[in-house]
Chains A and B, each alone.
Chain A
């Protein structure tokens, strides 16, 4: 479980997040949605500690994450996995080395055990016979899947995904969404996904937080979103005529 309490963040004079509180539960795919530039990525980076909050607290289960120093956070970070928007695979390493990296750094497993774990993780994301390829040789979808494999290599308790569908075709996006949802349930992780992909919202939105101009405007799930009266949310989610028809038919 991750709890954010009254998070605020500014860059100079520009306030990016204002008093955001949220609870993210384990075993669920929690979505943060909002327009580009609404503050989703900053909020996610605050949650994982890549950016320091100006005000507010972040709890990982019963541990106050914002009160820890680098070494204290290190223990919690070993329980985190993150899928970055651009995958963030290490260019100089092969697929196998990328997935093995966290195992090399933080475990005392033997080479055989590591290879077994790497192959399991790659198999889980349907990447087969590509161990020796380098990131530059992979398609966008494959990069995302390898990044997921790396993120789950240490069996994390918390998974963060920053726009996992960006730059992917609709079919591959659905594959990635399904993968994230399945893995979340399998490992009983607390998963937080930043997205503005409406297919993801409808498929994965077990809990949804809508952020507009750095403020939390709405909270609910994919069923509630269809019935919401929040004008700003409706303008964002049901931006095209097909989506508006769907909303009308659900009433």
Chain B
């Protein structure tokens, strides 16, 4: 309990340093652009591949579980659409990004800590927490909603391509299904969750990396902890946000 409270306190102390006024906004802007490429653009590939196949599997599973003449086949498209928008493209993609981006952030910052690069920044009079972490937070919070949209589109496309190729649904029925009883708010709900998940992944992982003490072994441990803590926090917030936004 004491460890949890002390970790929680140190997290908020770090956040107060991160969200202080930037020393030179132009430098922060440049850093944010670099992070957009490193954390955002370089995640498009994995998000696209995983979303395509998950969309395909969701469609196939929905089809095999609704093999009944009573159910119209367009329900396969509808089921796949809602599963992808409501849960897969926000939460599951966030969990995947917690693994990819979270470990990347924790190991990068942890290595900077053990090789005294953070000390070098502090010694120059630079707010190291803000300089290193704020651009990452801004980049992921801005870019992850695009990843979610890419995931939604790719997932639904995956369902269409594989569903029709496996002959479990016709393209007309699938397309009719994804348009049927569409609630635009579900997209908003998904994007709100994505923004909050992006903040959690980045800040929890950065906190683990920033407080590394020791050497490469501890950097590895921090990287693992970053993924575990950000995933658990993310799942907890998923429950809270679902209740708040959909009730």
Contact = CB atoms under 8 A, between A and B. Distances in A.
A105 B23 contact: yes
Given A84-B116, A91-B115, 8 more contacts: A49-B123, A50-B123, A74-B125, A78-B125, A88-B120, A101-B124, A105-B24, A106-B124
A80 B117 contact: no
18 contacts: A48-B123, A49-B123, A74-B125, A77-B123, A78-B124, A80-B124, A82-B120, A84-B119, A86-B115, A88-B116, A88-B119, A88-B120, A91-B111, A91-B115, A101-B124, A102-B124, A105-B23, A105-B27
Contact of B125 (A84, A88, A89, A106): A106
A166 interface: no
Given A104-B24, A105-B23, A84 B120 contact: yes
Interface size class of A (residues with CB under 8 A): 20 to 34
Contact of B123 (A70, A80, A105): A80
A26 B124 CA distance: 20
Interface in B1-49: 23-24, 27, 34
B167 interface: no
Contacts of B115: 86, 88, 91
Contacts of A84: 116, 119-120
Contacts of A105: 23-24, 27, 124, 126
Contacts of A188: none
Interface string B112-133: 1001110110111111000000
Nearest to B114: A86
A50 B125 CA distance: 11
Contacts of B112: 91
Contacts of B23: 105
Nearest to B120: A88
B209 to A, nearest CB: 14
B116 A86 contact: yes
Nearest to B23: A105
B102 to A, nearest CB: 19
A82 B123 contact: yes
Contact of B122 (A50, A89, A106): A50
Given A104-B24, A105-B24, A90 B124 contact: no
Interface string B61-89: 00000000000000000000000000000
A156 B117 CA distance: 19
A244 interface: no
Interface of A: 45, 48-50, 70, 73-75, 77-78, 80, 82, 84-86, 88-92, 101-102, 104-106
Contact of B117 (A70, A88, A106): A88
Nearest to A51: B119
Contacts of A89: 117
B97 to A, nearest CB: 21
A115 B34 CA distance: 21
A104 B27 CA distance: 8
A54 B241 CA distance: 45
Contacts of B124: 77-78, 80, 101-102, 105-106
Contacts of B123: 48-50, 77, 80, 82
Q: Which 5 A-B pairs have the closest CB atoms?
A: A77-B125, A74-B125, A88-B116, A88-B120, A84-B116
A98 B60 CA distance: 53
B119 A50 contact: yes
Which of A70, A89, A91, A105 is most buried by chain B, counting CB atoms within 10 A of its CB? A105
B117 A90 contact: yes
Contacts of B119: 45, 50, 84, 88
A46 to B, nearest CB: 13
A17 B126 CA distance: 27
Contacts of A90: 117, 120
Contacts of A101: 124
A144 to B, nearest CB: 13
A18 B198 CA distance: 47
Contacts of B127: 70
Contacts of B122: 50
Contacts of A48: 123
Residue picked from B24, B112, B117, B127, most chain A C-beta under 10 Å: B117
A160 B123 CA distance: 10
A80 B121 CA distance: 12
Contact of B116 (A49, A85, A92): A85
Contacts of B126: 105
A236 B161 CA distance: 76
Nearest to A154: B124
Contacts of A78: 124-125
